[in-house]
């Protein structure tokens, strides 16, 4: 028991050295901008299209939204969401 109590100060020091918690939904240097993304509407939803949309929107996170799938309502300014139709074509692109 005494040995375990001797670890408490060491563990407390280790915790104080940890960096601050990152802010959820924020990736430094990335903020999604969906302006001008209409040029991708109608294209096939595949890896190449997703990567192009991610680059063009300056997003850090890409989320696919096929038809009938429920999505979380949390907002992330660094995420782009690509909505697909039943034919796997891009129907809409939104940030958040």
CB half-sphere exposure, 73, CA atoms < 13 A: 0
* pLDDT by residue, tens only, the chain of 96 residues: 555 555 555 545 544 444 444 556 677 888 999 999 999 999 999 999 999 999 999 999 999 999 999 998 888 999 999 999 999 999 999 998
Closest CA to 59 of 23, 94, 21: 94
- In Å, what is the CA distance from 75 to each residue of 9, 26, 31, 59, 71? 39, 10, 12, 13, 11
Q: Is the pTM of this model over 0.75?
A: no
Domains parsed from the chain with CATH numbers: 25-95 (3.30.10.10)
| pLDDT value of position 18 | 42
Q: Is the dihedral of CA 50, 53, 59, 65 positive or negative?
A: negative
User: What pLDDT does residue 61 have?
Assistant: 94
Distance CA 96, CA 94 (A): 7
Find out whether 41 and 92 touch, Cβ atoms under 8 Å.
yes
């Amino acid at each position: 028991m005494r040995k375990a109590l001797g670890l408490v100060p060491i563990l407390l020091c280790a915790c104080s050295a940890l960096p601050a918690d990152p802010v959820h939904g924020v990736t430094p240097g990335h903020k999604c901008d969906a302006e001008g993304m209409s040029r991708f509407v109608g294209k096939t939803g595949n890896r190449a299209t997703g990567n192009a949309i991610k680059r063009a929107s300056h997003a850090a996170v890409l989320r696919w939204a096929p038809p009938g799938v429920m999505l979380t309502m949390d907002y992330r300014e660094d995420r782009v969401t690509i909505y697909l139709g039943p034919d796997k074509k891009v129907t809409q692109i939104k940030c958040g």
